[in-house]
Amino acid sequence: MTDNFPCEIKVSRQEHTLKAAIVGDWVMGSEPPALEAVLTQLGDGSDIKQLVFSTESLGRWDSLLMTELIRLIDYGAKQGIQVDTTTLPEGIQGLLSLVYAVPERVGARRQEVKTPWFEIIGKGGIRIYNDAQALVTFIGETALSIAALTRGKARFRWVDLWTYIQDCGPSALPIVTLISLLVGLILAFVGAVQLALFGAQIYIADLVGLGMTREMGGLMAAIIMSGRTGAAYAAQLGTMQVNSEIDALKTMGFEPMEFLVLPRILALILIMPLLCLYADLMGIIGGALVTVSFFDVSLVEYLNRTANAVHIPDFIIGVVKCAVFGVLIALSGCMRGMQCGRSASAVGDAATSAVVTGIVFIVIADSLMTVICNRLGI
């Protein structure tokens, strides 16, 4: 680094002309002199009519000098002082002419506006209303495309459907295995502590079996798939939106709802019940592991007890619930993806809100269905 000559601005006045001599190296990193001294001389009540510069002793310069000059010139212009820039080096003059070449567009600059709380609430309400409307529209469009499918008129590539099935089925097995096994394990432990008080460890099998099949198997599978596949759908469709791929499909005469959304929804509807059964099995195995190894129940006893406690309707309830969750995950993922804006951060927002919406829907739907089953006594 070469040594910098300290930068200075020296002012002298002759009659109505203020002469500013710019001295030294004006490069970023050096501390520029306070302009206030010059500005006050130009300020209100001064009789200066003209500002000229001299740059004989100016060394190196960069954006630092430019910003200070612009401040001086703008201030001078505001005070009605004539600023003479012709004595500045050519490069600076060139840059200044570029800076002032395009006048600031009127109304372009944004003011910070304080929104009153009433408006915030109102806007929130409108947003919720619009969101609900978009959801209903999306469900309607999905229904229409499913109707088209049943009439054999929906256009999408079957190979896409297989890819999505592969993607949300077999590829999801490892994580579903891990989570369901652990949930079964946890259920068994939590129940065992209480049941062991009465010497009723054998009922752990009932607890885990019913808990997994009716409730936890489907719920866990759904929450995993919401984070895994729902987010992926939103990100895929969002990126397609950013790259104008969806527009391209429309111009080629494809209906994005049929071509992109339908196979994704179908894949999840087909796969979720199977995943649910798999999760049930894993949960029961997890429960058996704990019961057999810690609570003095043999494996045969445990399995017998499970077979007695869990009946076909329990499985059906779980599987139906899980199919519903599948629809909800696919809907929220695809909806957020299709609504995505056209930037990288919009894709992130879409993925986030797909997962949030998905999980909210899942939990609400699950509570509703549980209450209904309870009332109906199934």
Binding site for another protein (CB under 8 A): 28-29, 62-64, 66-67, 70-71, 90-92, 94-95, 98-105, 108-110, 341-346
For 119, counting Cβ atoms within 10 Å of its Cβ (0-12 exposed, 13-18 middle, 19+ buried), the class is exposed
Q: What's at 124, amino acid-wise?
A: G
- Residue with Cβ nearer another protein (242 or 365): 242
Least separation in angstroms between residue 71's CB and another protein is: 7
Least separation in angstroms between residue 255's CB and another protein is: 26
Strands 58-61 and 82-84, by their bridges, are unpaired
Least separation in angstroms between residue 102's CB and another protein is: 4
Q: At what angle do helices 262-294 and 117-150 cross, to 10 degrees?
A: 100
**d(C-alpha 278, C-alpha 272), whole Å:** 10
- Residue with Cβ nearer another protein (109 or 151): 109
Q: Would the CA dihedral through 312, 314, 318, 321 be positive or negative?
A: positive
- Residue with Cβ nearer another protein (64 or 285): 64
Q: What H or E segment, with its residue span, contains residue 13?
A: strand 8-14
**d(C-alpha 65, C-alpha 67), whole Å:** 6
Least separation in angstroms between residue 67's CB and another protein is: 4
- Residue with Cβ nearer another protein (106 or 197): 106
- Residue with Cβ nearer another protein (28 or 126): 28
- Residue with Cβ nearer another protein (67 or 298): 67
- Residue with Cβ nearer another protein (102 or 193): 102
- 317: its two tokens: 């309830």
Least separation in angstroms between residue 106's CB and another protein is: 9
Phi and psi dihedrals of 278, rounded to 5?
Answer: -65, -45
At residue 15, the 3 state secondary structure works out as: coil
Q: Would the CA dihedral through 315, 161, 255, 151 be positive or negative?
A: negative
Least separation in angstroms between residue 92's CB and another protein is: 8
Least separation in angstroms between residue 335's CB and another protein is: 21
For 263, counting Cβ atoms within 10 Å of its Cβ (0-12 exposed, 13-18 middle, 19+ buried), the class is buried
At residue 116, the 3 state secondary structure works out as: coil
Residues 6+ apart with CB under 8 A from 34: none
- Residue with Cβ nearer another protein (105 or 375): 105
How many other CB atoms are found less than 10 A from the CB of residue 318? Answer: 26
Please check whether residue 233 is in contact with residue 264, taking contact to mean a CB–CB distance below 8 angstroms: yes
